[in-house]
Amino acid sequence: MIWSAVFVIEVNMYIDAPPGINSASTINCNITATHLFLGLKGAPNAYLDEDFGSKVLVNESSWYLDNGVIYIVLVKAHRGETWESCLKGNHQFQGAQTTIDPVTKQQIQKDMLLERFQEEHPGFDFRGAEFNGSAPDPRTFLGGIKHS
């Protein structure tokens, strides 16, 4: 499993489907606001049955199967939130990053803050802006993000 965070609204998970699975109709994927269930229909055990690191918007989240990879798109319930990990708990997936390191977290927070500034001040160009030191949390800095 590999996951990546789009800076403001999404978390994307990429999971290799079991060998021979080439139809989405054989997969059971249930996304709730706080939990992911992923398995094969009729199988006794789930592949993933875990809580999320934070809440998601169920009606805007989705999943699909393409070329042997299960793509899960989770839309964050709290805009601008930096997720430490997609799933709670200590997960060990071979060759996959399951949590973000402190340097990546700082870069994500800087990028989110610049996106927030750009949205709040559309007449300015913040593409080349830099921070001196660590970036504050964009959800709380200077009154925070105006939308949840």
Which domains occur in the chain, in start order? 2-75 (2.60.40.790), 102-143 (no CATH)
What is the pTM assigned to this prediction? Answer: 0.66
Spatial distance between the Cα atoms of 148 and 135, rounded to a whole number of angstroms = 20
Q: How many CA atoms are closer than 13 Å to the CA of 73, on its beta-carbon side?
A: 10
* Band of pLDDT at residue 3, cut at 50, 70 and 90: very low
Q: Over pLDDT 90: what percentage of the chain?
A: 26
Count of beta carbons in the 10 Å neighbourhood of residue 94: 5
Spatial distance between the Cα atoms of 94 and 82, rounded to a whole number of angstroms = 24
**Mean pLDDT score across all residues of the chain:** 77
Per-residue pLDDT, averaged over 87-115, amounts to 66
For residue 42, is it left (φ>0), alpha (ψ between -120 and 50) or beta?
Answer: left
* 56-97 tens-digit pLDDT: 999 999 999 999 999 999 988 877 777 777 787 655 554 555
Spatial distance between the Cα atoms of 148 and 9, rounded to a whole number of angstroms = 10
All residues at 6 or more sequence positions from 46 whose CB lies less than 8 Å from its CB, including other chains:
37, 38, 39
Q: What is the pLDDT of residue 109?
A: 72
Strands (E), 32-122: 35-40, 48-51, 62-66, 69-75
* pLDDT over threshold 60, residue 147: no
Q: Which two tokens stand for residue 57?
A: 């918007």
Q: Phi, psi at residue 102, to the nearest 5°?
A: -60, -35
* pLDDT over threshold 60, residue 8: no
* 26-52 tens-digit pLDDT: 999 999 999 999 999 988 888 889 898
